[in-house]
Structure 1
Amino acid sequence: MRAELDAFLHYLRVEKGLSANTINSYRRDLERFFSSLNKQQCVSLEDVNREHILAFLLELRKEHKADATVNRHLSAIRTFFRFLLHDGKCAHDPSAHIETPKLEKKLPQVLSVSEVERLLKAPSTTTPFGQRDQAMLEVLYATGIRVSELISLRLDDVHLQMGFIKCMGKGSKERIIPLGQMAIDALSQYINNGRKKLDKTRRQKVLFLNHHGRPLTRQGFWKIIKKYAAKAGIKKEITPHTLRHSFATHLLENGADLRAVQEMLGHADISTTQIYIHVTKVRLKDVYSRAHPRA
């Protein structure tokens, strides 16, 4: 099974152009599936049948895994067997007629405009780290990019005079996203002042650096945004994607075109972007309920 898994991961990386994080997720999920097959004494992929897969999914449910996690494992199995079928390495797809559990759609947590304002003002710009943190938060809210895209930005991806950034998203697809003036000002201060003090070697190409002068990690950013949310007195549960969700919702609330928001977010399918329309409807209903005298 190891040889087939390696060939599949190579296909995802070279032909599909998926990110390292996505490929690692496929690898972990399939290795867990292979472990279950071993327990079931199934040692050949040709022998895998529908019952083996269902037993594995039941195993996940007994561990109280969320429906989304079960679906993700099933999706990995399906993609893997379709690859094997297409490559002539197996004669049938045992996952073909397994029903995917329906997920309850959860609306993303969104900050109000006043909460965003408090969050963006929380860093103290008297230090290099404060200048970096403010620039990161401003860029996230100005562009809606993912945290993984934010920490991967390079200096030459930033075009302050033209007012945009270049961003490499999922599937190695590049997109250009405009910057607002507040983000431009924060980036300019960080690049011209704070970053020079963090980049001790003067050879680092990545934009946002940690105290060692190396690229910031997702975990590092996670700690940063949690710290400023607490400082700003925000009680809502904050995630690294909160500013991305807020960016999309606030644009749509103010009349932005859905297709334009889809392009800026880097969504391949507009149905992914449409969840933010539901968020705006819920927020409008809440405002109406609180404000209308006959509500």
Structure 2
Amino acid sequence: MYIHHSDVQVVFMFTERFIRYIQFEKRYSPHTVSAYQSDLDQFTGFLNNPQKLSPPPPPVITHPSQITHYHIRNWMVELMNQHIIARSINRKIATLRKYFKFLLQEGVIEINPASKINTPKIPKNLPVIVEDVKLTQMLDDNEVFGTDFKGLRDKLVIEMLFGTGMRLSELMGVKDSDINEYEGTIKVLGKRNKERIIPVNNELKLLIAEYQELKKKQDFFGNNSLTLIVTDKGANAYAKLIYLIVQKYLSYISTQNKRSPHVLRHTFATSLLNRGADLNAIKELLGHANLSATQIYTHNSVERLKSIYKQAHPKA
């Protein structure tokens, strides 16, 4: 299939309208908006490859209504051939569903081509965690991070993710004004723009205060930066920076391949559950919409109990 340059602009006009909708009306996080934009760009790029499309589409796509469920299914097959994991494929299809639903509401199309799509099943893998004892020992070792601004910032990133269980996007969105030092809490803006309040322990509270004081000495408060976590030059922190910080320090205590900010979120939840925390309380702390999302952590706890039983029981 060949798409003329002018026709690409027609398709992109609706894409850009959709991006403005989720950005300004739905007020999705910048990270989510970027993911939606990337998914739509990938799908548009796929439509420009005629050899990958079956049955043959119209010679020129001039309107989104010409896109059918066959195109979407073919894209899914192509993603699978590229060994993209099921979770990522499902997210991309969810993007198309929301995009075409928006076009349906706007009267641009009459049928949602993504409504007939069945997404691949996601294997239920246990959440990847690190040993909280080793993590705590590392955080208590003052020589690991150093006392300069960068070292204190890096330590705060690890402490915030492990001490609150917040998501990467949530950490990047935390402002200095979201810290309530008197109450010992942090206000977080989660998915679907839902706010929640997370308590912080005294050690983390002191670390935040120490970091903010050093941040003032660096004159980063006057650098038009409102977020708590900033770069070495005082600009708002970005996702890759947080990833690199987490990967660096988790490599000191873990040899596993997965060393992402979400591993610390999983470790936070599993540690609470192993120490007797109520599942509903963990759900609220994590900002899950329903309990089923939180229950996955019970599997880690069951595996831990099995391990203890095998080690300790004479009949195991």
TM-score calculated relative to the size of structure 2 = 0.84
State the Cα deviation string for residues 121-168 of structure 1 (Å, max 9, x = none): 243453233332323322222211122222332221112222111112
Q: 1:49 to 1:246 in 2, by over 3 A?
A: same
AA aligned to 2:148 is: T
Is 1:15 equivalent to 2:25 in the alignment? yes
Q: Distance in 2 between matches of 1:230 and 1:59?
A: 34
Report the 3-state secondary structure (helix = DSSP H, G, I; strand = E; otherwise coil) of the residue aligned with 1:251. helix
1:104 pairs with one of 111, 123, 132: 123
Q: 2:175 aligns with which of 148, 151, 154?
A: 154
In the superposition, relative to structure 1, how do residues 197 and 177 fare at CA in structure 2: closer, same or farther (>3 Å)? same
Distance 2:222 2:66 in 1: 57
Query: In the alignment, residue 108 of structure 1 is paired with which amino acid?
Result: P
Structure 1 ranges of 4+ moved more than 6 A:
none
Q: Is the 8 A contact 1:199 1:209 kept in 2?
A: no
Paired AA for residue 243 in structure 2: W
Counterparts of 2:117 and 2:147, CA distance in 1: 58
Aligned length: 293
Q: Secondary structure at the match of 1:241?
A: helix
Q: Are the aligned partners of 2:31 and 2:169 in contact in 1 as well (CA < 8 Å)?
A: no
- Equivalent position of 2:208 in the other structure: 187
Secondary structure of the 1:96 match is helix
Q: Tell me if the contact between 2:251 and 2:259 (Cα under 8 Å) persists in the aligned partners.
A: no
1:102 Cα deviation (Å)? 0.6
Instruction: Write the distance in 2 (CA, Å) between the matches of 1:287 and 1:207.
Output: 40
Residue 222 of structure 1, CA deviation: 2.2
Kept in 2: contact 1:198–1:209 (CA 8 A): no
* Residues 1:249 and 2:259 aligned together: no
Q: Is residue 121–residue 134 contact of structure 1 (8 Å, CA) maintained in 2?
A: no
Q: Distance in 1 between matches of 2:295 and 2:221?
A: 45
> How far apart in 2 are the matches of 1:126 and 1:58?
51
RMSD of aligned residue pairs (Cα, Å): 2.2
| Contact 1:253 1:280 (8 Å CA) reproduced | yes
Q: How far apart are the structure 2 equivalents of 1:165 and 1:84?
A: 38
1:166 pairs with one of 181, 187, 190: 187
1:197 alignment partner, one of 207, 213, 217: 217
TM-score, normalisation: structure 1: 0.89
Q: Deviations over 1:24-53 (max 9, x none)?
A: 212221222223333345403222222222
Residues 222 and 77 (structure 1 numbering): CA distance in 2 closer, same or farther, change over 3 Å?
A: closer
Cα distance in structure 2, aligned partners of 1:216 and 1:20: 13
Question: 1:170, CA displacement in angstroms?
Answer: 2.2
Match of 1:287 in 2: 308
Letter in 2 for 1:222: Y
The runs of 5 or more residues in structure 2 that have no matched partner are: 1-10, 51-56
Tell me how far 1:171 sits from its aligned partner.
2.5
- Give 1:185 deviation, angstroms: 2.1
Work out the CA distance in 2 between the residues paired with 1:146 and 1:224. Answer: 15
Higher mean C-alpha displacement, 175-184 vs 143-152: 143-152
Q: Tell me whether 1:79 sits opposite 2:89 in the alignment.
A: no
2:43 pairs with 1:33:
yes
Q: Which moved more, 1:274-283 or 1:114-123?
A: 114-123
Segments of structure 1 that go 5 or more residues without pairing to the other structure are none
CA distance in structure 2 between the aligned counterparts of 1:25 and 1:264, rounded to whole angstroms: 25
Task: Say whether the 8 Å CA contact 1:49–1:94 is kept in structure 2.
Answer: yes
Residues 208-253 of structure 1: per-residue CA shift (max 9 Å, x gap): 232212233222222222332334x333342112221111111122
> What SS class does the counterpart of residue 165 from structure 1 fall into?
strand
Q: Deviations over 1:45-100 (max 9, x none)?
A: 22222222222222222222222222222222222222222222112122222221
Tell me if structure 1 keeps the 8 A contact 2:215–2:221: no
- Counterpart position of 2:138: 119
Identity across the alignment (%): 34
Tell me, in whole angstroms, the C-alpha distance in 2 between the residues paired with 1:161 and 1:13. Answer: 33
Which of these residues, 234, 239, 254, is aligned with residue 234 of structure 1? Answer: 254
Separation in structure 1 between the aligned mates of residue 162 and residue 269 of structure 2, nearest angstrom: 9
Contact kept, 8 Å, 1:120 with 1:138, in 2: the verdict is: yes
